[in-house]
Amino acid sequence: MKQALQQAFMARFGEAARHLVRAPGRVNLIGEHTDYNDGFVLPLAIERAVWIALRPRNDRRVQLFSLEFNSEGQFDLDRLEQASGWLEYPKGVAWALQEVGLGLRGFDGIISGDVPRGAGLSSSAALELAVAKAFHAVSGFAWEPARMAQLAQRAENRWVGVNCGIMDQLISAAGVAHHALLIDCRSLELTPVPLPPGSIVVILDTATRRGLVDSAYNERRRQCEAAAHYFGVTALRDVSLAQFSAAAAGLEPIIAKRARHVISENERTLQAAEAMRQGHSARLGQLMNASHASLRDDFEVSSAALNAMAEAAQAHPGCFGARMTGAGFGGCAVALVAEAQLTAFVAEVTAHYQRRTSLTPQVTVTTASQGASEVL
């Protein structure tokens, strides 16, 4: 990736790139649909990332070429106008950084990456953080990961128009190699937790892509807000399972199911971080399985393909646990697998899923990588 990008830069601009930045996608081990409820998440930054090779300009223009889209785009930092297409992510980040008064310089850049789009691995957050890192490289403002993540989230919420929480941007900005991050989405406190020894994180792409996810996502958010309102709290983070059980009967059944997912998922996520600290893979796996069931039955954001994949993985003797990951409705599942059985797991789960669905899955073994960084 690095070399291909440097060569493409040389071919296009006739000189070597002055900076090379990257920002990773993510996979979430547990803590799904909890971030916008001020709750807990436990993602890790993956090896797949968005990369930008660049050189500063002396004016306020940004000129970008995307190798994936084979398309060029440019904009002026003094005249940002909304349009549509991939350039809205870089523009949105420029808008958000300038809105808080950061002085930006223009640059020429080439973008490339290997985070699949629409698969639930946060390709947009990776693009946003890579762009923020590129502006950082040429403009020299302070790099505070949590602040950068918040500004990237604002770009996505307000400029691109997707109402996401903070998880994806924060893990892309702040990921720690060989660790997942327990994130408190209220305080933004980050606690690195090591992956249990002898276990491997495997990403299982169902080869289905989510449809209508935005409207379903916004609906879930509204249902969670309605539940928080009923309990008289700021967010469902503030409701314990005991409080929920005592008062759930007064809730509309569908709202009660949504709330039960979020409240139980927060507990599972804290327990999962504890299991990881103790190196207890089996316990972590059980919690992942329970998370999948809750997302399937209570939050109702899984899909037939995601269920087939999670079940195929869970049925394998080398698997500690598996669940859908990300917003849902399609994309990827994540499994925790015993290192000694990895090869058999990949072959057998692929065949099992293929038999059941007639779809060919993509299986990726990943370690936890570092968050957004300047490589050159």
**Catalytic residues, which ones?**
168
Q: In the complex, what is the shortest distance from the CB of residue 191 to ligand GLA, in angstroms, rounded to a whole number?
A: 18
The two tokens of residue 77 are 């930092």
- Binding flag, residue 36, ligand GLA (CB under 6 A): yes
Q: In this structure, are residues 182 and 355 in contact, taking their beta carbons and an 8 Å threshold? A: no
- Binding flag, residue 164, ligand GLA (CB under 6 A): yes
Can you tell me which of 19, 33, 261, 283 binds ligand GLA, judged by CB under 6 A? 33
- CA separation for the pair 86, 71 (Å, rounded): 10
Q: In the complex, what is the shortest distance from the CB of residue 121 to ligand GLA, in angstroms, rounded to a whole number?
A: 9
Other C-beta atoms closer than 10 Å to the C-beta of 254 total 12
- Binding flag, residue 205, ligand GLA (CB under 6 A): no
279-338 residues near ligand GLA, rule: CB under 6 A: 326-327
Helix (H, G, I), strand (E, B) or coil at 96: helix
Stretch of 16-24, 31-39, 228-236, 268-276 contacting ligand GLA, by CB under 6 A: 31-39
Q: In the complex, what is the shortest distance from the CB of residue 375 to ligand GLA, in angstroms, rounded to a whole number?
A: 25
Cα–Cα nearest to 372, from 194, 188, 113, 162: 113
Q: In the complex, what is the shortest distance from the CB of residue 331 to ligand GLA, in angstroms, rounded to a whole number?
A: 9
- Binding flag, residue 27, ligand GLA (CB under 6 A): no
- Binding flag, residue 168, ligand GLA (CB under 6 A): yes
In eight-state DSSP terms, residue 233 is: S
Helix (H, G, I), strand (E, B) or coil at 58: coil
Q: In this structure, are residues 27 and 201 in contact, taking their beta carbons and an 8 Å threshold? A: yes
Number of residues located near ligand GLA, criterion CB under 6 A: 10
61-100 residues near ligand GLA, rule: CB under 6 A: none
Helix (H, G, I), strand (E, B) or coil at 323: strand
In three-state form (DSSP H/G/I as H, E/B as E, the rest C), the secondary structure along 154-207 is HHHHHHHCCCCCCHHHHHHHHCCCCEEEEEECCCCCEEEEECCCCEEEEEEECC
Stretch of 33-41, 78-86, 250-258, 363-371 contacting ligand GLA, by CB under 6 A: 33-41
Q: In the complex, what is the shortest distance from the CB of residue 129 to ligand GLA, in angstroms, rounded to a whole number?
A: 13
Contact footprint for ligand GLA (CB under 6 A): 32-33, 35-36, 164-165, 167-168, 326-327
